[in-house]
Structure 1
């Protein structure tokens, strides 16, 4: 079995409606079983993605230009960070906020077109994943694959953890090349194959007795109302936490920009200090030379004054003698 063949099957599965994933996976595994049992087993082991990851996959499969633009923007941001270009970082940070908002709106529209509405909290997870795409080249390749299993997060300092986040990780799009002004990009990130570990993670079938156990009695109205109230509070808390996380991430972006600007200012001040110290040393040497010349000039002036006094006395003596 070749990973490329498995990736092609996975691409079709992860590009479809989320509600049809399990049935589509079973059908694909059955179709593959006649020719390649190993491939069929690998197909059956492909995990179902989370709702937010599925929404990002919809964006990758049906609106790849959106991800391409974000990937290019991320490359420019990393190049500006390396160059300590604070002015560019500020502008790119504003551009990223606008682009992320537009990309999330597009993801929600594409997801809705394929049968699933995305809540505000899930939209927050989508935005965090797209933000990770702009911050990390490995994350960009994983997102662009369209085979995400769960969403990503980036703290702006460490590399994004990609372990277990993408199906068939051995077959990923190439990492986007960094702009010419930036440093060479790493060749990529090694990830353990999720498809290889999936068979051991699959839960065993439930016993028949458990499958046919009696249906639980419906909850009483008061209990149901309480459960709904708890659910509403939990959803509100989740949305608030997602909003707070996005605001903190924006603050972190601004702080990184401020740090880059301060580093550049410090470098400028060190350069100016070095120039000033050189000028001070030259001025000290010139002062010493000027003082020495001044002393010589004073001595010469004293000598000339004595000579003039002697000459005047001689003139007076000669004048008196003639009289």
Structure 2
């Protein structure tokens, strides 16, 4: 089975419509089954992503610039957290909230363009996943792969749980490995490599070892965890107390921002309530005027009805008087002729 072929098929499947995923997966497996049954079995084993994960995948496929900006922000936040720079964390926290809101709106738009709307609940899951992207390099690699399977979550202290989070974790691009290692490598991980008598690095596997691993002679881990991201030794994390203090500083910054926003909203609420009272008073006055106008209208209608009846009666009387006058005139003429 060729890893490159499997990765290409997976990329096509996870870039497609969510509703068509199962049928597209079956068709892809059937297409390759005649030449490579192992590849077909691997294709059939590709999991269907959740709705929120699919939306994030669409964002990775169609708007990678959004993820790149969040990833860059995440690097700055991790740097500020490592240096316990509380003011920078507060400012970056505000920037992240704005960027996350914009990114979720973009994800909604991209999802609609791909034929599916995202509910508010799914949008919250998308936001949580993008927040995890800013907190952990491995999460950033998983999200950027476009093969995300489930929602990611970060607590600000522990690494993001990436178990089962992405399809084909061992086939992710090695680019993120270099970024993660260079950015957060501990002093001991940068120590000079020792060499053997043959001039080969003691930390670099021999050609024979690589060949043996490729043939599967050595046992593989039961649950691979984004090998492409984790193959470089992770940096030694700051002491738990320092990380907790940094998380506390960020939480306090978020609390201050939330308190400010709550105060503004409370003021808006009070202004709205005052406006409601004014409108209620105005409504009561208008209703009273309307009632008076309706009563006047009803009296006018009755008056018009009465006047109309009198006018008809007067018209009939006038017509009768006119006929009487004509008859009297004719009689006078007859008498004059005699």
Q: Do these two structures clear the TM 0.5 threshold for a shared fold by scoring above it?
A: yes
- Contact preservation (8 Å) 1:147, 1:166: yes
How many Å apart are 1:19 and its aligned residue?
Answer: 0.7
Question: Which digits, 9 at most, give the CA deviation of each residue in 1:110-156, with x for residues without a partner?
Answer: 11111110000000000000000000011110010111111100101
Question: Which digits, 9 at most, give the CA deviation of each residue in 1:61-105, with x for residues without a partner?
Answer: 111111111111100100011112222111111111111111111
Q: Determine if the alignment matches structure 1 residue 116 to structure 2 residue 116.
A: yes
Q: Tell me how many residue pairs correspond in the alignment.
A: 200
In 1, distance between residues paired with 2:119 and 2:249?
25
In 2, distance between residues paired with 1:90 and 1:54?
31
Q: Determine if the alignment matches structure 1 residue 192 to structure 2 residue 223.
A: yes
Aligned position for 1:96: 96
- Contact preservation (8 Å) 2:32, 2:40: yes
The structure number with the bigger radius of gyration is 2
How many Å apart are 1:2 and its aligned residue?
Answer: 2.7
Aligned position for 1:106: 106
Aligned position for 1:203: none
Alpha carbons of structure 1 residues 192 and 61: separation in structure 2 relative to 1, 3 Å: farther
Structure 1 unpaired stretches of 5+: 195-250, 259-323
In 2, distance between residues paired with 1:95 and 1:4?
38
In 2, distance between residues paired with 1:4 and 1:143?
20
Alpha carbons of structure 1 residues 183 and 169: separation in structure 2 relative to 1, 3 Å: closer
Aligned position for 1:152: 152
- Contact preservation (8 Å) 1:93, 1:253: no
- Contact preservation (8 Å) 1:108, 1:118: yes
Residues 78-227 of structure 1: pairs in structure 2 closer than 5 A: 78-173=78-173, 174-175=175-176, 177=179, 183-184=184-185, 192-193=223-224
Alpha carbons of structure 1 residues 19 and 37: separation in structure 2 relative to 1, 3 Å: same
Structure 2 unpaired stretches of 5+: 191-220, 226-246, 255-338
How many Å apart are 1:177 and its aligned residue?
Answer: 2.5
Aligned position for 1:58: 58
Alpha carbons of structure 1 residues 253 and 164: separation in structure 2 relative to 1, 3 Å: farther
Aligned position for 2:250: 254
SS of the residue corresponding to residue 152 of structure 2 reads: coil
Question: Which structure exhibits the higher relative contact order, with contacts defined as CA atoms closer than 8 Å and separated by 6 or more residues?
Answer: 1
